[in-house]
Structure 1
Amino acid sequence: MKFLKKRELWSHKGDNGKVLVIGGSKDYIGAPALAALAALRTGIDLSVVAAPEQTAWQINTYSPDLITKKFEGDFFNWDNVKDVIDYCEDGNFNAILIGPGLGLEPNTMDFVKEVVERIQLPKVIDADALKALKDAEIRNAVLTPHKAEFYALTDEKLPEDLEEKAKIVKNQAKKDKIILLKGHTDIITDGNSIKLNQTGNPGMTIGGTGDVLAGLCLGFLAQTKDLLNSAHTAAYLNGRIGDYLLRKKGYGFTASDMIELIPIIKKKIKWI
């Protein structure tokens, strides 16, 4: 049985998914753009980036396929909270991603915690946003930390042993708070079951591959509302794309190289 439903013949723009990426800052422009493009390549209809104004204008020049919503300031801050939440609630989005390129300004961390706790939509939480949520109420979400971000989120140091590591991650997850721990072997868990993913390679330590992963998860979540399987499918596909690029190009491929391959490799995987 396929994970994604077949697109209806008479569907209209927006019927197949609309997502919002909340990210970017004056220092980080590429991360939210990569994530939004990755989401778009999963088969959704519309991908929007909410970003500080100057960052959003630069994203507009990066790709004509992305829509941007511009907010005042160089970084997201407490003053943006109401406007961002209103935009999320009024925009008919199926899922949101918060984190790529946000930066670590204290005001941004306060913004993240408030937005995550108040927005009820299915969400993916990645990158800098994870560092703001140690004591937050997190629901209806996929979290995508690497081991350092997992420590910042939980105060738990992870061992090298895979079985012990998986137990610790499982204990921190819940049915409505999925954890996708990125690593040599990805661990995906809802606090009950554990899925492991072993696609991928050391070439994927290059910057931006995590943004692509978060975007893939966002796109699948928008189409299915299935937190656990969206996370697992995203991890598997992300690694398969990286493995293909390693065979074709060797080390030195980029996250941008991955974007174009998403629909091609996805089509080869019969269960997606």
Structure 2
Amino acid sequence: MTQNALPTVAYRAVQVRQGEQIAARRLGWPMYRLMESAGAAVFEVIREKYPALKSLCVCCGGGNNGGDGYIVARLAKLHGMDVVLWQLGDAENLKGDAAAARDAWLACGGRIESPEVQIPESSEVILDAVLGTGLTGAVRPDAAALITTINAAGKPVVAVDIPSGLCADTGRCLGETVHARQTVTFIGMKQGLLTGQAAQYRGELRYAGLGVAETLMQIEPPTALRIDPQDMLNWLPPRSKVAHKGNFGRVLCLGGEQGMGGAIRLAAEASARSGAGLTAAVTHADNVLAILAARPEIMTQSWQSGCPDAEQRLTSRLNWADVIVMGPGLGQNSWGSALFDHLKRLRDDQSLVLDADGLNLLARSPDYKDNRILTPHPGEAAHLLGLSVADIEADRFEAVASLQRRYGGVVVLKGAGTLINDGQQHFVCLAGNPGMATGGMGDVLAGLIGGLRSQGLTLSEAARAGVWIHSRAADLAAEAGERGLLASDLFAYIRQLINLR
């Protein structure tokens, strides 16, 4: 039976392949039973999503993914549907359970045909069972041609386990890739389905444990954990009736070069909206009045290197803070660089959230520190690692882990399926939407994380809570439409989500 709720754990493809065999042996099940269950789970989703469906085109490959397709084809035929089954390659070359599924299809009167240049006009839905989770190299020309035919049909596609052409471990495309309307994945969630290009191809993600998911967890340690909103209840408990502002930390936001005051204002307001006790901002003199007029709760002062008593005032404010947020609107010229140099004065007990040009300045003089959170987008991550953006997006899991190993602390790699690595584990966020692709969103996230850290959450907890609240707030704000969504639109929803209880 399929499950609507996605699991909180994810794995690499090889873990699932090896683990399912061990799990089946422990339970005394033949592997063909799992194939039958997988096919039944996919067919259940098809019936749920397309209840009036009368005709189905099933596209099968040469491995067990194709075997799953044969199971679905047989179930559809037994339910009275008109089924066309295309086999990529020679059906006689199928082996093991896939061959058994083929024979069961033939035994019920099914036919096997070779792919044509167009999906049959009568077919209302296409089943993609061409390439499975074992794909690691480039998609072969014959498979690429079939995938192109599937995509060109303009019909809903249901993918078996993973859209053909997508890497199960990284979420990147390995050539032509199926655009699925739904993807039904089995036993263990494949980590590549949760981040990167997968968001463009997987469609609605459905999951079926097939009765062995719990056993798999006992055998294989997950490689990634999905951020669980229920954790927020533990991290943000009800406040004491006698609480005061001194109980919830002091956050200092540094940034806002001339002409970029909006960035630091957004970060500082996000800190305040997160529930931080006190929030201050140090910025260019041109920005002070605008910030105070818009948000008087933010204690704002100017800074200019070389001005009388400027160094003393900055040092005093740095010493005042529990958490520093640096980077929004900072710039990389002399003003921002001079301000960045003051981070060397931070005490060991002060936490730092480094974003935007703070990251670009860090890339110029790399160091390793454990008491900070880095929040790069792929471009900044590429700069920090000396790679290209394409390199980062090719394997986001490895990229975020490499950043953490090189720079320490906790790293948030933003983008579709934002990833967090705290040196022990990967975490992934499935909330968020394309409306977030607009200026200021990262500034809000940095301030939000800083404010959460000031309230006693660990670095890892603050990063996870901040990413989820930020993304979920954007989803709520986007109910009115993704286009035109502004970073400041998130604030009302952030306040709601911070008060989950």
When normalised by structure 1's length, the TM-score is 0.87
Which of 205, 210, 232 is the matching residue for 2:442?
Answer: 210
Task: Identify if the C-alpha distance between structure 1 residues 165 and 250 changes in structure 2 by more than 3 Å, giving closer, same or farther.
Answer: closer
Which of 245, 254, 259 is the matching residue for 1:27?
Answer: 259
Q: How does 1:110-129 map to 2 (within 5 A)?
A: 110-112=338-340, 114-120=341-347, 121-129=350-358
Answer yes or no: is the 8 Å Cα contact 1:126–1:143 preserved in 2.
Answer: yes
Secondary structure in 1 matching 2:253: strand
Deviations 1:107-128 (A, max 9, x none): 522431x223331310100011
Gaps of 5+ in 1: none
Q: How does 1:176-195 map to 2 (within 5 A)?
A: 177-195=409-427
Residue 17 (str. 1) matches residue 249 (str. 2): yes
Residue 130 (str. 1) matches residue 362 (str. 2): no
Answer yes or no: is the 8 Å Cα contact 1:24–1:31 preserved in 2.
Answer: yes
Which of 351, 370, 382 is the matching residue for 1:151?
Answer: 382
Q: Distance in 1 between matches of 2:452 and 2:368?
A: 20
Measure how far apart 1:138 and its partner are: 4.2
Secondary structure in 2 matching 1:43: coil
Task: Identify if the C-alpha distance between structure 1 residues 12 and 171 changes in structure 2 by more than 3 Å, giving closer, same or farther.
Answer: same
RMSD between aligned residues: 2.4
Task: Identify if the C-alpha distance between structure 1 residues 63 and 188 changes in structure 2 by more than 3 Å, giving closer, same or farther.
Answer: same
Q: Distance in 2 between matches of 1:159 and 1:26?
A: 32
Q: How does 1:251-266 map to 2 (within 5 A)?
A: 251-266=483-498
Amino acid at match of 1:119: L
When normalised by structure 2's length, the TM-score is 0.49
Deviations 1:175-209 (A, max 9, x none): 95111010111110022211111211110011111
Answer yes or no: is the 8 Å Cα contact 2:434–2:482 preserved in 1.
Answer: no
Gaps of 5+ in 2: 1-232
Which of 88, 99, 114 is the matching residue for 2:318?
Answer: 88
Answer yes or no: is the 8 Å Cα contact 1:35–1:216 preserved in 2.
Answer: yes
Specify which structure has the bigger relative contact order, considering alpha-carbon pairs within 8 angstroms and separated by 6 or more residues: 1
Secondary structure in 2 matching 1:252: coil
Answer yes or no: is the 8 Å Cα contact 2:254–2:281 preserved in 1.
Answer: yes
Amino acid at match of 1:32: I
Answer yes or no: is the 8 Å Cα contact 1:158–1:165 preserved in 2.
Answer: no
Which of 308, 333, 336 is the matching residue for 1:108?
Answer: 336
Answer yes or no: is the 8 Å Cα contact 1:171–1:191 preserved in 2.
Answer: no
Q: Percent identity?
A: 29
Which of 40, 50, 63 is the matching residue for 2:295?
Answer: 63
Aligned pair count? Answer: 263
Q: In the alignment, which residue of structure 2 is the partner of 1:164?
A: 395
Q: Distance in 2 between matches of 1:237 and 1:31?
A: 19
Q: In the alignment, which residue of structure 2 is the partner of 1:99?
A: 327
Task: Identify if the C-alpha distance between structure 1 residues 256 and 266 changes in structure 2 by more than 3 Å, giving closer, same or farther.
Answer: same
Higher radius of gyration, 1 or 2? 2
Task: Identify if the C-alpha distance between structure 1 residues 161 and 22 changes in structure 2 by more than 3 Å, giving closer, same or farther.
Answer: closer
